[in-house]
Amino acid sequence: MEKTFLMVKPDGVQRGLIGEIVSRFEKKGFQLVGAKLMTISKELAEQHYGEHKERPFFGDLVEFITSGPVFAMVWQGENVIHTARQMMGSTNPKDAVQGTIRGDFGLTVGKNIIHGSDSTESAEREISLFFKDAELEEYSKLINSWIY
Ligand code: DAT
Ligand code: MG
């Protein structure tokens, strides 16, 4: 089953949005297979956002993502990578459709509440950056027979 890496950023944690965000993915039918509250080191932040290292906002991005605890998660389900990105909304909350997480809760691109992997490759890379295999649970839920 497909897996993705999702993370409530420091602004989302401070604003008390962990429960709301987890709830949206649970209600959609996705299954949580790993989660932890953690503070990201500068090294991990630079690896995680490595694709943006030449961008002018890179320094601010690393500073922001390491500024307080994040809630890191692995979710699984059919098409979870693509669907989670849709549920998050556009990178800049000003362009994000109402009903999406960024559309409902964010105002600025620098504080856009949630991260989600954007491809199969980045999902695999990000999951292994943040989680050991032993931190991920494999379990079945009876309700899955009412979702699939
Ligand atoms: P996403 O988080 O939607 O995958 P991204 O990978 O392009 O977006 O960028 C990573 C993060 O960097 C994004 O969530 C917020 C920040 N960011 C992106 N573009 C920015 C910009 N023009 N100014 C400031 N921060 C930006
Ligand atoms: Mg991205």
Q: Using most ligand atoms within 8 A of CB, pick from 54, 61, 85 the residue to mutate for ligand 1.
A: 61
The Cα 31–Cα 51 span in angstroms is: 28
Find out whether 79 is annotated in a ligand binding site.
Answer: no
Q: Write down how long the chain is.
A: 148
Find out whether 85 is annotated in a ligand binding site.
Answer: yes
For residue 52, which ligand has an atom nearest its CA? 1
* 85 CA closest ligand 1 atom index: 3
The Cα 144–Cα 148 span in angstroms is: 6
Nearest alpha carbon to residue 105 among 36, 28, 20, 4: 20
- Tokens standing for residue 1: 């089953």
Active-site annotation holder among 48, 52, 82, 115: 115
Is 48 catalytic? The answer is: no
Residue nearest to atom 16 of ligand 1 (CA): 110
pLDDT (tens digit per residue) in 11-50: 999 999 999 999 999 999 999 999 999 999 999 999 999 9
Nearest 10 degrees: CA dihedral of 128, 133, 135, 139?
120
Which pTM does this prediction carry? Answer: 0.97
pLDDT (tens digit per residue) in 82-138: 999 999 999 999 999 999 999 999 999 999 999 999 999 999 999 999 999 999 999
